[in-house]
Amino acid sequence: MTSKDFPLANIDCGDCPIRHRAVCARCEPDELQTLEAIKFYRTFEAGQTVVWAGDAMDFVASVVEGIATLSQTMEDGRTQMVGLLLPSDFVGRPGRETAAYDVTATSRLTMCCFRRKPFEELMGRTPHIGQRLLEMTLDELDAAREWMLLLGRKTAREKIASLLAIIARRDATLKLASDSRSIVFDLPLTREAMADYLGLTLETVSRQVSALRRDGVIELEGKRHVVVPDMERLLGETGDDTDGGMLI
């Protein structure tokens, strides 16, 4: 079982749609009640830091709405984003007291948090929560390794195309019913954040986005609104195998 078995679109459960996908799709009523008791919400404004690497972190959480980034920074300021947290993604590691990465809100962000200690206790007596977390962690590991290929071997143009394809694909799950052939979405990241994710500079990101537009691979309305007239064409620019599970 992978996270694809819990598509966001299939879930409709009130104030916290995410929690269910993340940890308790198979929870019994008493387990849900325990989760209710230890949960709380936090919201952050765009740009705010959720936690700094090394800080104590006494909760684990699920993103409800908005976007956050996980990043690592070297002493001299070089920064690499190591994860992008979209709605339904899980943050925090059971058994770890301090945050391993900087977590930053890149848009207005709502998270559903669970106090760590009682969450760990619940995990201890509720195996399927651990199983679910293992599935999610394995998915994240796959994503991290896919990103290693991107960082280590792809050209700047391929990197940009790959990022756009990933955002388009992830966004598309939320509006599949669309009739139009072309895919439309808003970039949730600044050029600088894209650069930090892709291991590039913001100037290179800007140049390559311009180049993809000039070549007709994408259209831009404003700086952030992207139209992909032909998804196949964009995928062809990523360097990835076009067959396989890649298509939307």
Partner DNA sequence: GTCGAACCTTGATCGAAATCAAAAAATGAT
Partner DNA sequence: ATCATTTTTTGATTTCGATCAAGGTTCGAC
Residues numbered 147-186 forming contacts with its own copies, rule: CB under 8 A? 147-149, 151-153
Per CB under 8 A, does 98 bind its own copies?
no
Per CB under 7 A, does 16 bind DNA?
no
Per CB under 7 A, does 155 bind DNA?
yes
Q: Which stretch binds DNA (CB under 7 A): 1-9, 26-34, 86-94, 196-204?
A: 196-204
Least CB distance from residue 196 to DNA, whole Å? 11
Per CB under 7 A, does 210 bind DNA?
yes
Among 9, 192, 242, 247, binds DNA (CB under 7 A): 192
Least CB distance from residue 119 to DNA, whole Å? 33
Per CB under 8 A, does 140 bind its own copies?
yes
Task: Report the relative pairing of strands 90-91 and 102-105 from DSSP bridges.
Answer: unpaired
Per CB under 8 A, does 134 bind its own copies?
yes
Site residues, DNA (CB under 7 A)? 47, 155-157, 190-192, 199-207, 209-210, 220, 222-224
